Amino acid sequence: MPYEDNLTAERPTFVTHLECAATGERHAADVVHNLSRAGKPLLVRYDLAGVRNALAKDALARRAPDLWRYRELLPVRRAADIVSLGEVMTPLIRLPRLAARLGAGELLVKDEGRLPTGSFKARGLVLAVSMAKALGIRHMAMPTNGNAGAALAAYATRTGIRSTIFCPDDTPEVNVSEIELQGATVYRVNGLIDDCGRIVGEGKAKAGWFDTSTLREPYRIEGKKTMGLELAEQLDWQLPDVIFYPTGGGTGLIGMWKAFAELAAIGFIGAKRPRMVAVQAEGCAPMVRAFEAGTEHATRVADAHTIASGIRVPQAIGDFLILRAVRESGGFAIAVADDAIVAAIEEVARQEGFLMCPETAATYAAFKQSLADGRVGRHERAVLFNCATGLKYPLPAVARRLDLTKPIDYAAL
């Protein structure tokens, strides 16, 4: 099969409507939307009986290994609207040495750092921009902690759509640079991501920008959903026991939970679901507090701080969806300290040769903690998501040097 087939072949699509995640009210497909009429996220709904008839596992297995192999479960109708930078299927990497040392079962990392722009944000934004192209949107704006902005910049530029992006002052330098270099206009803002979100909201009202914020835009979650579709297919349609997910806005966690429901509806998986674990940093853990308090919504964190910038989200519009997925799955929410994150990056890199981003290092620290306190069993299969390449983040300096003006003592090196 030619490698570009998924990008060029017309395949049947099955979107029926969009549904308010809070009230269930139907909204029309194929028109521009942000939030529902009730001011809540919209979820894309499909004719799943139709998908069941149109898509078989063996046909899927013959398609090229990229995100677009799941076209029947995605909203883009025409192949001409697909925007792509090569959204490869990301590998599952085993961490056998650490699993053995910890006395754990199977420990796998899905390495999303292989995607275009080096993070899983490519999944969501390739869908958002493809749908923007299909719907004739000309100017997209977004608040970002870095990686999402980079992905929007890349795909929007490739499509000829303008993009304007706002990030907190201390967003990693590499993110701000890549956003600008990939053709967007980017501003640092002396506030947090929700302050940036307010600017986008005002720009929408005053300048007609399209608001591409997490869950205020209905299609990013459909792209993030493919993490769950891929994971299921890679594990031969047997879902793992537990998934540790670094949770900011929560699109990935909510998206995967949606993916599993859709896979069950089309008969690809049975009733077994993983326990979904929302991992946050102690300095910004609204979901953990709400989970522990048993509430449906989370309270904004006033002084949000953590080195894991991707999960520094003081308030998420999809809070009730994150909490619902975690509770329905029998999972939990857990916070880890920044020094545990730093230690985890080092431990995994030195032991397994795998460089995690800080957000994923948080999931490894949370996994260790949960194994120790019995919330994860010693024979369970666990999956962590490496959401971005570790190379995007500041790394420790190395002081060791060789002086060529002196003889080298090779035995001592």
Ligand X SMILES: Cc1ncc(COP(=O)(O)O)c(C=O)c1O
Site residues (vs ligand X, CB under 6 A): 119, 145, 147-148, 214, 246-252, 310-311, 357, 359, 387-388
Cβ closest to ligand X, residue 13 vs residue 251: 251
Ramachandran region, residue 180 (left: φ > 0; alpha: ψ -120 to 50; beta: rest) = alpha
Residue with tokens 């570009």: 4
Residue with tokens 């929408």: 204
Residues forming beta bridges with residue 281, ordered by sequence position: 284, 336
Cβ closest to ligand X, residue 143 vs residue 240: 143
Tokens of 361: 């290092």
Q: Please, what is the minimum distance in Å from the beta carbon of residue 285 to ligand X?
A: 13
| Structural contact between residues 42 and 36, judged by C-beta atoms closer than 8 angstroms | yes
Residue with tokens 């060789």: 402
**Strand pairing report for 185-189 and 210-211:** unpaired
| Structural contact between residues 376 and 103, judged by C-beta atoms closer than 8 angstroms | no
Q: Please, what is the minimum distance in Å from the beta carbon of residue 215 to ligand X?
A: 9
Ramachandran region, residue 87 (left: φ > 0; alpha: ψ -120 to 50; beta: rest) = beta
Distance CA 92, CA 112 (A): 9
Q: Which amino acid is at 193?
A: I
Q: Which helix (H) or strand (E) holds 185?
A: strand 185-189
Percent helix, strand and coil across the chain, each to the nearest 5: 45, 15, 40
Cβ closest to ligand X, residue 6 vs residue 164: 164
**Strand pairing report for 139-143 and 210-211:** parallel
Q: What is the DSSP track for 14-51? A: -EEEEEETTT--EE-SSS--SS-TTSS-EEEEE-HHHH
298: phi then psi, degrees, rounded to nearest 5: -110, 150
Cβ closest to ligand X, residue 148 vs residue 345: 148
Q: Please, what is the minimum distance in Å from the beta carbon of residue 251 to ligand X?
A: 4
When computed from its CA atoms, the radius of gyration of the chain, rounded to whole angstroms, is 21
Cβ closest to ligand X, residue 119 vs residue 130: 119
Which residue number places its CB atom closest to ligand X? 310
Cβ closest to ligand X, residue 263 vs residue 308: 308
Distances (CA, A) of 409 to 310, 399, 412: 44, 18, 6
Cβ closest to ligand X, residue 6 vs residue 149: 149
Distance CA 13, CA 11 (A): 6
Cβ closest to ligand X, residue 73 vs residue 284: 284
Cβ closest to ligand X, residue 55 vs residue 231: 231
Cβ closest to ligand X, residue 55 vs residue 149: 149
